[in-house]
Amino acid sequence: LGVTYNLKVIATAREGEPQSGEASYTSETNITINFLDNNQKPVFSCTSMEFKFREEKLDQTQKLDCLASYEVEDEDLPVFYYIYPESSNDVIDNTFEVDEFTGVISLKKVISFKENEQLEFKIVASNDSSPTSHNPSSFLSVTCNVIEINNNWPQWSRDKFFGAVMAGYSSSTIILTLEATDADKIDQGKLTYFLNGTVNVIGSGLNNIQEPFLVSESSGEIRLNFQVDSIMSGYFQFDVTVWDVEDQFGNGPHGNTTSVTIFIITSDNTVDFRFYNTVDEVQDQEVGMLEVISEIIGYEAYKQDILKATEDGVELTDRTLASLYFINSTTIEAIESSTILRMVSNINTFSELVVEVRNRTGLTLMSFPATATSTENLEEVLKAWLVGVSVVLGALCLILLVTFVLKTRELNNRIKKLTTNKFGSQESGLNRLGISAPTTNKHAIEGSNPIFNINSDDVKKDLSKFDEYDAHSIRSGDSDLIGIEDNPEFDYHPSAPHVPNGSHSYM
């Protein structure tokens, strides 16, 4: 097959000679070189192999289950291993590498189970540096199965969960089902749910309830654990945590907590949405239907019940009634049905609901009965009339008050002009004919002249200072006129006491 050469190679030191007892500075060896005309290709003893690599870990290697060899074994020819280009792609080239001489498979970068659960490629065995061969036995099919680890936390389908109960609900009734998912495949169907801590109770008639709800560990169902009475009102708040499982490498478990609020509602909080669809069709599109209604109404919509619609007591198989309630997630309160009915009675809002529900869910929304909103509309009309009447009456009262004030002022002015001041009064000044000056008349002030107050006690006391000579003039002598004032005919004050011997005159 070729030519053989035998060579002797001698190695010696360039300087110096070995001393006595030293080993020689010269060494030699024989080399045999065989030049062969090698046209054969190495082949694998197996056609395929599988192995596993853990995701998110770089330092991993895998030996080949079977190595390639030549048919002429005694020639001890080298075998070269390559990833066959035609079986490769960017993912394979960027992820794996194969040792050229040993065929050991290693990683260039970490792999992700979410991106690739399984990777396949071929390794070709070659007799030179060319990664090709025409012999099918020179190819080994390789399958790498990626081992998933628990590196994701469970995620709730909603940020918060809301439910509702009504009077008449009995124990064991399913209120709502909590939903969570986990991106890790190993956690599918293995999530568990637990109620955390205590339940906060807000409302009346709820103090004696010890354990109001039970949470199913495997399904996330929340069941009622008491009988709801009509005297109860308020809501409950509590936390629920969902857990995944630990993997074979010790990762996990991971938990995620959400809040749950359960309202006690009445018929005043529920609104009936009717559809020209079967119950199954509405239930299949429940999530999308609630999303559309929530977006348009502006409050979060939740299902209370989905039932067959009835007409005159007969169930209709092609029509469905969905009883919904609405929650203001900001204030954590249930919305009155009257508020929702006023919104859907608006033709623009209702038209938008019909179009969006049909386009996004395929459901056909029926119109709301006129009686559903007539009472609320009448109430609004009455309120508007009451406000209007109040404004009008208030304005009339104000006008009446202003008119009364102005009319009273006008009448007072007229009376003042038509009324004459009393003669001799302080205001008139009609008896002030003389000079109004000090010491002109000590009786200038009306009422101070004692001649007109002779019957008063003060005047009687002062009469003693007037003697009998005051009645005589200087030149009267024995005139017959002296004492004439005592004649009853000249008495202007019959009831006044008799004053003898003289008259009294006052200036």
- Is the pLDDT reported for residue 363 higher than 80? yes
- Is the pLDDT reported for residue 442 higher than 80? no
Does 161 share its domain with 248?
yes
Residue 51 lies in a domain: yes
- Of all residues in the chain, the percent with pLDDT exceeding 90 is 55
Residue 400 lies in a domain: no
Separation between Cα atoms, residue 282 and residue 247, nearest integer Å: 39
- Contact between 415 and 408 under an 8 Å Cβ cutoff? The reply is no
Domain boundary residue, one of 345, 368, 391: 368
Residue 392 lies in a domain: no
- Contact between 133 and 86 under an 8 Å Cβ cutoff? The reply is no
Confidence tier at 340 by pLDDT (50, 70, 90): very high
Confidence tier at 458 by pLDDT (50, 70, 90): low
Rounded average pLDDT over 474-484: 61
Does 243 share its domain with 160?
yes
Residue 307 lies in a domain: yes
Does 364 share its domain with 273?
yes
The residue ranking higher by pLDDT, 173 or 134, is 173
DSSP per-residue codes, 87-138:
G--HHHHHHEEE-TTT--EEESS---TTT-SEEEEEEEEESSS----S-GGG
Does 243 share its domain with 273?
no
Rounded average pLDDT over 99-105: 96
Per-residue model confidence (pLDDT) at position 453: 60
Does 310 share its domain with 336?
yes
pLDDT, tens only, 216-258 = 999 999 999 999 998 999 999 999 999 999 999 999 999 999 9
What's the number of domains the chain is made of?
A: 4
Rounded average pLDDT over 157-175: 92
Q: Residue 50 is part of a domain; what is its CATH number?
A: 2.60.40.60
Does 186 share its domain with 93?
no
* CA 271-275-279 angle, 5° bins: 100
Does 85 share its domain with 180?
no
DSSP per-residue codes, 175-242:
EEE--EE-S-GGGTT--EEEEEEEEEEEEES-TT-S--EEE-TTT-EEEE-SPPPTT-EEEEEEEEEE
Residue 310 lies in a domain: yes
- Is the pLDDT reported for residue 376 higher than 90? no
Confidence tier at 78 by pLDDT (50, 70, 90): confident
Separation between Cα atoms, residue 189 and residue 79, nearest integer Å: 48
Residue 382 lies in a domain: no
19 CB neighbour count, 10 Å cutoff = 6
- Is the pLDDT reported for residue 189 higher than 80? yes
Nearest by Cα to 81 from 117, 45, 48, 124:
124
- Is the pLDDT reported for residue 461 higher than 50? yes
- Of all residues in the chain, the percent with pLDDT exceeding 70 is 79
Does 259 share its domain with 291?
no
Q: Which stretches within 345-369 are classed as H helix?
A: 347-361
Residue 424 lies in a domain: no
Domain with 486, as residue range(s), is: 454-507
The two tokens of residue 284 are 């299949």
The residue ranking higher by pLDDT, 144 or 471, is 144
Separation between Cα atoms, residue 42 and residue 77, nearest integer Å: 9
Domain boundary residue, one of 368, 403, 434: 368
Does 82 share its domain with 159?
no
Instruction: Name the least confident of 26-40, 75-89, 262-276, 392-406.
Output: 26-40
Domain boundary residue, one of 368, 387, 415: 368
- Is the pLDDT reported for residue 10 higher than 60? yes
pLDDT, tens only, 291-335 = 999 999 999 999 988 999 988 888 888 999 999 999 998 888 899
The two tokens of residue 82 are 């390559």
Rounded average pLDDT over 353-378: 80
Per-residue model confidence (pLDDT) at position 504: 46
Sequence-distant (6+) residues with CB within 8 A of 250 are none
pLDDT, tens only, 109-157 = 999 999 999 999 999 999 888 888 888 999 999 999 999 999 999 999 9
b vs e for 89-114, b when ≥16 Cβ sit within 10 Å of the residue's Cβ?
eeebeebbebeeeebebebeeebebe
Confidence tier at 507 by pLDDT (50, 70, 90): very low
Separation between Cα atoms, residue 318 and residue 315, nearest integer Å: 9
Residue 430 lies in a domain: no
Rounded average pLDDT over 53-80: 88
Q: Which stretches within 326-424 are classed as H helix?
A: 337-344, 347-361, 370-418
Does 284 share its domain with 338?
yes
Tell me, what DSSP letter sits at residue 285? Answer: T
Does 223 share its domain with 138?
no
Q: What is the mean pLDDT of the chain?
A: 84
Which residue do the tokens 């439910």 mark?
163
- Contact between 265 and 165 under an 8 Å Cβ cutoff? The reply is yes
Does 278 share its domain with 254?
no
Helix (H, G, I), strand (E, B) or coil at 323: strand
